[in-house]
Amino acid sequence: MSEQPLDRYAVIGNPVGHSKSPTIHAAFAEQTVQAMTYEALLAPLDGFKDVVSSFFQNGGKGLNITVPFKLEAWQMAERRTERAELAGAVNTLWRSDEGCLWGDTTDGVGMVTDITSNHGITITGKRVLILGAGGAVRGVLQPLLEQNPDRVVIANRTLSKAETLADLFRSFGTIEASSFETLLGEFDLVINGTSASLQGDLPPIPEGVISRDSRVYDMMYSAEKTAFMQWAESQGVALAVDGLGMLVEQAAESFAIWRGVRPETGPVIRQVRAAMVAA
């Protein structure tokens, strides 16, 4: 008897060689005993749709999408989940049994799961400040608001961008926009949705928005503490964490969509963290 071929999955991006997704999904597959492969595919900047079409035509089962193709993936999807529709971006693609190309975004649920389950931070009833108003922030607002925080404030250098997002998600909870200069009050949870800290920079956060009792979360991650985490700790914050767990949790959500089984994420987060520190 010939062996049954392995189901094929991949992440598509440009660049994509740095992606940790193949390592993460290989660990998930081993843990849950799934007959599958997962690879990284480099797509030309003007050739994303061709690569996706070829992948599925040749029997591929599912794709993760990373920068800069999440908007194109959203446009390509024939059907989208509600959270993907609102996020305006897709990071997970698959074909249904009927042959329909579905799109979802798992970033928001990945972040919320990491914050609440892995770090034990409560969102419900809390005052939440989120820094930035780009695609990364838009992608997480619905799952964040579904936790029923007391309120969410989006702070951004360009106020109009924050206002646009606040208007878009107002039906999901109490959400408002602010410039950095006009930020008032203290927040229980501050989430950095900008990439500034990876360059060693910080958004212009005014004094008084955090206290020792605040919790701080950086959606970015690195082997060392990010600049945002270092700033928070210098302010006396007891808990400042990065977004590596978000990366693994969003992957677990994609995996569950594709395979119908949810892997245990804790060991994989530790594995990826150890590899980053050792590199």
Tell me if residue 61 is catalytic.
Answer: no
Q: Where are the alpha helices (DSSP H) in 122-207?
A: 135-138, 141-145, 159-169
Binding residue per annotation — 21?
A: yes
Binding residue per annotation — 19?
A: yes
Binding residue per annotation — 126?
A: no
Binding residue per annotation — 125?
A: no
Binding residue per annotation — 132?
A: yes
Binding residue per annotation — 139?
A: no
Binding residue per annotation — 105?
A: no
CA 21, CA 93: separation in Å to the nearest integer? 15
Torsion sign across C-alpha atoms 190, 193, 198, 203:
negative
Which of 107, 76, 93 shows the shortest CA–CA distance to 243? Answer: 107
Phi-psi region of 95 (alpha: psi -120 to 50; beta: other; left: phi over 0): beta
CA 120, CA 153: separation in Å to the nearest integer? 21
Each as own residue / partner, the long-range contacts of residues 68-72 (CB below 8 Å, 24 or more positions apart, any chain) are 68/13, 68/14, 69/12, 69/13, 69/14, 69/43, 70/105, 70/135, 71/135, 72/48
Binding residue per annotation — 36?
A: no
Binding residue per annotation — 91?
A: yes
Catalytic residue among 61, 70, 126, 225: 70
Distances from the Cα of 259 to the Cα of 35, 47, 114, 239, 246, angstroms = 10, 28, 21, 34, 20
Binding residue per annotation — 20?
A: yes
In single-letter form, the type of residue at position 13 comes to G
Cis peptide before 15 (omega within 30 of 0): yes
Binding residue per annotation — 221?
A: yes
Binding residue per annotation — 134?
A: yes
**Kind plus residue range of the DSSP H or E element containing 227:** helix 227-234
- The tokens describing 156, both together, are 């951004």
Binding residue per annotation — 160?
A: yes
Q: Could you list the residues known to form a binding site, using ranges.
A: 19-21, 66, 82, 91, 107, 132-136, 156-161, 219, 221, 243, 250
Catalytic residues: 70
Q: Could you list the residues known to form a binding site for shikimate, using ranges.
A: 19-21, 66, 91, 107, 221, 250
Q: Could you list the residues known to form a binding site for NADP(+), using ranges.
A: 82, 132-136, 156-161, 219, 243
